[in-house]
Amino acid sequence: MSGSKSSSETEEGLAFQPSFDASGLVTCVATDAKTGDVLMVAHMNEEALRRTVETGDAWYYSRSRKALWRKGESSGQVQRVLEMRTDCDQDAVWIKVEQQGAACHTGRRSCFYRAVAKGEGAGIRLAFVDAERLFDPAEVYRAKA
């Protein structure tokens, strides 16, 4: 949280003043507006936020590619934003979206296609859940290869 803004203004105010991190980003959680499932966790910079609010399409900032991207611009799997909310300290946003096809670049509906097994000890295991591929990444991203 920025030291220049009071806690009460950030938490109780009605001005959207995102608290960007050192890299200029806020965390964005996208959920399926119908099911409530978390589809993906990604990041937005100021420009991605602005474009998302203005256009109603989800825009993100890729930390690995260091580039702004409109979700679905390569894959066609766009996200229409039905509602955006921010949290108490304004360093995260939650968007409820209509997801075209699959959110994950692996072709799954959600990036969260593996459950963490309960239990003790080292070597925690995962199990696939809702992991059916809705598209073939090799096909969809062929132009990028």
Instruction: Enumerate the known binding-site residues.
Output: 87-89, 91, 104, 111
- List the interface residues with a second copy, window 62-91 (CB under 8 A): 64, 83-89
- List the interface residues with a second copy, window 36-55 (CB under 8 A): 36-38, 40-41, 53-54
Q: Could you tell me the smallest distance in angstroms from the CB atom of residue 104 to a second copy?
A: 6
CA 99 vs CA 40, 60, 72, 109, 144: distances in Å: 11, 15, 10, 8, 22
Q: Could you tell me the smallest distance in angstroms from the CB atom of residue 88 to a second copy?
A: 5
Strand partners, 97: 32, 81
Q: Could you tell me the smallest distance in angstroms from the CB atom of residue 49 to a second copy?
A: 8
Using CA atoms, how far apart are residues 76 and 30, in angstroms rounded to an integer? 17
